[in-house]
Structure 1
Amino acid sequence: MFAKKSSEWTLVPSSEKEIGEVRERCRRLVQRRAAVSAGISAVPLPGLDVVTDLRLFATLIDDINREFGLTPEQVGRLQPQLKIRAYEAAISVGGTMVGRYITREVIVKLLQRGAGKLVAKQATRFVPLAGQAASAAIGFFAFRQIGYQHVDACATVARALMPKDGK
């Protein structure tokens, strides 16, 4: 009744092999979510794709952070020196979503970086069928690219937390 999810206790991967395995697992997750996003983008209902992308992306970021052991709760349980290294590594790679609570505002700002793609995606909707396909393709590649960048940022942070030789 009061048990926590077992995934909340995921540890930060401690070897290059473990980081690689988690990275590949997360990249497959990004691919699947990007495909769902693209499928929704093909539906000609204005605004549906944006709302869906926000929701999908928020859960994707949380899932990736959890897989790498980098949710805010998990980072909070690290030893103080490791916590500092985690935040320093996240800042150095521009990982604004690593180890942080993800809010709608953070995701909107992130998606605004790709505003040109979003405008192109919306503009293609005015051309029947071909426009919907183009919109879906743009959405897929933009979602996938942002997701992959987050996976790589988390992998970099996890590498910074790996035990040093001799310690």
Structure 2
Amino acid sequence: MRTALDYAEGDLDLIAAIRRSRRLLHRRALVAAAASTVPVPGLDWAVDAALLSRLIPQINAEFGLTPEQIDRLDPKRREQVQKAVALVGSSLIGKFITKELVLRAAQAVGVRLSAKQAAKYVPLAGQAVAATLGYATLRWLGEQHLCDCVRVAKAAALLPPAADSGDAEMVPSPRP
């Protein structure tokens, strides 16, 4: 399976955005793991959904792919991004993230989430398994979205906004 770094193909700007996004992803996945250990029915699902609903827009922003950033592009560039999003098939890029979108994404890993729910009721070992599954699940969903963002940025030939200016105007990449 290809990673986001594989899709970046050595592009230093994309690699920097990937690293920043992975730091965000790691921190959120640790919170998901901690929530998974609490034996309250449904708490971990609620925490996962809340974390994803904040994480996805933050990753989008790292690549200049929030709805606001896309709206600021010139019409031709905006059309290129929209075509790239359609080509990649992501329902989480360039959209306002809703509960329904997060739940649809989480359905892709429904078996892991169900196993996590069951495991956390087994003392100690079960909670460790639930925490591991919670971390891995959020990490996997985030990595998949990260790959989609890189593929869209490459296909639309966009450079991510500068790390320190976060809201910088997207500029065409010198890549063909």
Into which bin does the TM-score normalised by the smaller protein fall? 0.7 to 0.9
The CA deviation at 1:94 is 2.3
Q: Say whether 1:25 aligns with 2:48.
A: no
Partners of 1:132 and 1:39 lie apart in 2 by: 9
Which of 44, 47, 58 is the aligned partner of 1:52?
A: 47
Which of 90, 94, 110 is the aligned partner of 1:95?
A: 90
SS where residue 120 of structure 2 aligns?
Answer: helix
Partners of 1:34 and 1:94 lie apart in 2 by: 24
Q: Is the 8 A contact 2:39 2:121 kept in 1?
A: no
For structure 1, list consecutive stretches of 5 or more residues without a partner in the other structure: 1-14
AA partner of residue 108 (structure 1): L
Q: Which residue matches 2:141?
A: 146
Q: 1:157 to 1:67 in 2, by over 3 A?
A: same
Q: Which residue matches 2:155?
A: 160
With the length of structure 2 as denominator, give the TM-score of the two structures. 0.81
Offset from partner CA, 1:3-29 (integer Å, 9 cap, x none): xxxxxxxxxxxx921111011110121
Identity of aligned residues (%): 42
Q: Is the 8 A contact 2:81 2:156 kept in 1?
A: yes
Q: 1:46 to 1:76 in 2, by over 3 A?
A: same
CA RMSD of aligned residues (A): 1.8
Q: Is the 8 A contact 1:30 1:60 kept in 2?
A: yes
Number of positions where the alignment pairs a residue of Structure 1 with one of Structure 2: 153
The CA deviation at 1:87 is 1.4
With the length of structure 1 as denominator, give the TM-score of the two structures. 0.85
Q: Which residue matches 1:63?
A: 58
Q: Is the 8 A contact 1:16 1:159 kept in 2?
A: no
Q: Say whether 1:125 aligns with 2:81.
A: no
SS where residue 108 of structure 1 aligns?
Answer: helix
Partners of 1:166 and 1:91 lie apart in 2 by: 21
Q: Is the 8 A contact 2:36 2:120 kept in 1?
A: no
Q: Which residue matches 2:168?
A: none
